[in-house]
Amino acid sequence: MTSSASPVIVDIDLQAKGKHFGHIRVPHSTHESAYGFIAIPIAVVNGCSGPDVLLTAGNHGDEYEGQIALLKLMRSLLAQDVRGRVIIIPRLNQPAAAVGRRTSPLDEGNLNRLFPGDPMGSPTAQIAHFVDTVLLPMTQVSLDLHSGGSSLEYLPCVYATASPDTARQARLQAAVTAFGAPLVLMAQQEISSRSLMACARAHGHLHFATELGGAGTTTPATQAIADRGVLRLLAHLGVIDPVAPPPDATRMMRISGSSQYVYAPVRGLFEPAFALGDTVQVGQPAGCIHFPEEPERAPCELVFADSGMVVCRRVPSLVAPGDCVAHLAADF
């Protein structure tokens, strides 16, 4: 085996015409299953010629809108209605998704911080490597559906990284607008060089992600954005026939720097002074951290270091140093 050969296989032919369900098999030999593998559900819907699109969710296992939207799409999408090929994976980090956790219980792997992966590494690193070496090269467009997960809640949004190339940026803006979330957060740089987003962009993909709510659950409103957004993107790409446009205009905002993030400096109970969606000014109180073991001690007060709209908040009230309690976005 060469250093780049993956032990991961997929048990269906992703080139075959028609619609096929199968599994990505990640070898995993355990006490309970000596010759076993991790079975990650996958479907390919392959019609006549057109773009090759990779749709993923469950990269973080505790984010549910995308998982449910892609399960619906797997059942409803028919090969005769598709111009191109759609590869659908609702639970990319299946072991994490099976237990509703951000990270894998097998190796504590955070899949979205392990790209481009390692064929000889942990199960999570092997999944990343398979995406990098097999799935991204055979596709040109990819969407990775995220939400805030157990610890964060977002205003439902698309999340993309801006391109310095004018033509690529125009194509990206057209695609994220077509998805039809109420809000688009355009980051000026990658949040992590080890993410699926960074890896897909390195492959030259038209790629974006979402942050559709969170707090470890899904709602009718956020689910509808996911369900319809996936169809609106496929229609925008010409893969399926046109669908109804989004009900409201998309607001485009910018993620530009560390001053937009508020972090807890100490351990305690966080009392926010803001709500999701509030517009705040630099220097405005963000809240305070109480010390339940030292009731006589004055709370630690936090302030916003920037102005903008609160687009994300921490869900659990218990905080420790380094926990992000809020982040802002700014108008263009």
Q: Which residue has the tokens 């070496």?
A: 133
Asked if 127 and 175 count as a contact pair (C-beta separation under 8 A), the reply is no
**101 belongs to the binding site for Ca ion (CB under 5 A):** no
**129 belongs to the binding site for Ca ion (CB under 5 A):** no
Asked if 130 and 199 count as a contact pair (C-beta separation under 8 A), the reply is no
Degrees, nearest 5: CA angle 126-132-134: 90
Distance in Å, CB of 329 to Ca ion, minimum: 17
Q: Which residue has the tokens 């010629």?
A: 49
Site for Ca ion in 134-153 (CB under 5 A): 146
x/- map, 42-71, Ca ion, by CB under 5 A: ------------------x-----------
**228 belongs to the binding site for Ca ion (CB under 5 A):** no
291 CB-near residues (< 8 Å, 6+ apart): 266, 268, 297, 299, 300
Size of the site for Ca ion (CB under 5 A): 2
Structure token pair of residue 143: 């969407």
Distance in Å, CB of 63 to Ca ion, minimum: 5
**236 belongs to the binding site for Ca ion (CB under 5 A):** no
Distance in Å, CB of 268 to Ca ion, minimum: 25
In the complex with Ca ion, the residue whose CB is nearer, 110 or 126, is 110
In the complex with Ca ion, the residue whose CB is nearer, 52 or 63, is 63
For Ca ion, the nearest residue by Cβ is 146
Distance in Å, CB of 148 to Ca ion, minimum: 7
In the complex with Ca ion, the residue whose CB is nearer, 52 or 153, is 153
User: What stretches of 16-149 adopt beta strand conformation (E)?
Assistant: 18-27, 37-46, 48-57, 83-89, 141-145
In the complex with Ca ion, the residue whose CB is nearer, 61 or 116, is 61
180 CB-near residues (< 8 Å, 6+ apart): 225, 228, 229, 232, 245, 246, 250
**205 belongs to the binding site for Ca ion (CB under 5 A):** no
Distance in Å, CB of 141 to Ca ion, minimum: 20
Structure token pair of residue 14: 């992703």
Residues that bind Ca ion (CB under 5 A): 60, 146
